[in-house]
A and B are shown apart, each in its own frame.
Chain A
Amino acid sequence: MGMSRRLVLASLAGVLAAGSLAIGLHTAGATERPGRRDAGGGNIERGRRLFLVGCASCHGQSGEGTAQGPDLRGVGAASADFQLSTGRMPNTAPDRQSVTKRSPYTRREIDDLVAYVASLGPGPPIPDVNDPPGDLQEGGELYLDNCAACHSASGNGGALSVGRDAPTVHGATQVEVGEAIRTGPGNMPVFGPGTFTRQQVNSIVRYVEYLKKPEDPGGLSLGLVGPITEGLVAILVGLGALMLLTRWIEPPAVREEPPAVTAASPTVTAEPEPATAPEDQQ
């Protein structure tokens, strides 16, 4: 190959690399990240330094845990990635349920932290939600059997005890759904590899994805809350409108006029009353 050709190829490669990096960074802030994550994508040393600054006060200098935060050794990349990506961690109110919020970390920082936590002990890796490919129907059955009890059939979430709740699943990315299943964050049970195969997890992920935009052929979905909203609409909108309508048909006018003098129907000549059977009197 000539020098110029190599130069062209090298520059092409460079452009491609730069382009991918740009695209990668551009989509870093987006919530839809269905692709794979490289478990080894982050830098452990950088992660350790970030950890000491932002996490060690609750989770201990080496992640061994304190009174404020659990032991992170062995929670795995999946758990760390879930907690950090959804912004649950850092947790500003440890006595309450941690909530999804905007993370103060960039995607790269999260990857570094994940790499560090993953290095603390063996634990569930970040699942690959596309391989093996999930089956929508299997996912629906598994979701309704295992998830709907807390997260509701529609994925709207539901109340738990004493102010906790199973949040809506509509805001989670596919990877986050997979991670939650595998790691059981908060009050959620853990569904490890002995419980669900990777295929089964990916099927559930696919169904949850469907629940974000389910088919609504009937019209306004009313949030898929159920009979409560349906009842409110029926009474307030349906019956309410109809009751207002009756007031239009019979306006509550002040009736001061006397009964109208109308053309009285011609008097029917009274027939002699039969001797025995009384007539039908109307």
Chain B
Amino acid sequence: MRSKLAPIAVLAVATLGLGLAGCSTGGGDDGDSVTISLGSWRTEDIAMWEDEIIPAFEASHDGIKVEYAPTDTNDYNAAIQSQVEGGTGPDLIMCRPFDVNRAWIGDGYFDSLADLDAVGKFSETALAAWTGDDGTPYCIPVASVLAGFYYNKAIFDEVGVDIPTTQDEFLDVLKTIKDDGKYAPLALGSADGWQLGYNVLYNIGPAYWKGEEGRLGLIDGSKKLTDPDFVAAFAAYDALKPYLPSGYESLTYDDMSQLFSLGQAAILPDGSWNINQVTSTGLDVGVFGAPAVDGKRYQQEMPDMAFGLNASSKQKEAATEFLEWLATPEFEQLYVNKLPGFFSMSSNTISYDNPLATEFAALKDGAELTPRLALDRLSAGTPPLDDEIWRIAQLMYNSDLSPEDATAELQAGLDSWYTPAG
């Protein structure tokens, strides 16, 4: 029986419950200990932070409690933006690399970290992704990631192929596996544009555009995407098309990882962060780097994440202590070994327990390093080059878009807003 009282009673009860529920806020003083919150887009790391890293920090830092508060990566930018603009947000904000972060720096989200000891532990290149235009560091680097090709050792043995070192060898390997018929040569789909850029084009591309030479050339305007080197890179990317599994247009990054880890595909172009996933089913997995061009090898190394100090944080002292701790071997050793595939960026000597991580890190030897092509300065306007590359890369696999037309379109988009920094 609903009477007029019933809804009012419900409302009263609800309000009461709210009064109790709404009392708590995140962070603040708790007797004599302080709680700081960490904002991040890495939801899959919760277990590791809560069980290993945070206890290690709290053990050596009395009176500070840490809360790891991740947000799904799709919502992360929006959540941070809304919260910080509204005046709240976590005390420590995980920083996206390069342009997105520069915008946040420009909007005043962060406090300068120039006075921290931790900064001295990192090279200028390491800090570059998180430095303001005036050279002030705003985030302490945490980890970098590498791009490479995971391969299923058992399949390679069975089909009888070796690790390729040149593009021709690579295509040969793919063809042999495809002709064999039992396995998919590449676990690669085009539903997720970002990985076509990050893990495929930016993986094999640097050998053609000569790493930093090409990237910096784009930035200062001396090079264009329509130059032969870049077109050749896009052509090499396109050459993989015949070896994609059927229905690849709908295959997401998740599907690719599953396909590989279930033993149904031979090679997975991927980032080093995925080590745990690809080895989760017990496969014998190795990794090889992008093919060399003219005998020279290039390796993508991307500064991936860092932590910055929220300018409106109410616990700056405690948060700064945490930032200093991020540059210690204690933290780094713990972090990179609990999360294999993430590599330390400081000058500390770190040892890696995970054999696959060590193998991945070894890819850096003898290769020239370069970060992802389009995230630094080339994505600060509309259309952002990085997003456009995702879209074009997708179109190249999903339609007949040629490398020449693709690069022409990209360059036109860049030219519409970008003035090269002389």
Do A and B interact?
A: no
Chain B interfacial positions (CB closer than 8 Å to A)? none
Chain A interfacial positions (CB closer than 8 Å to B)? none
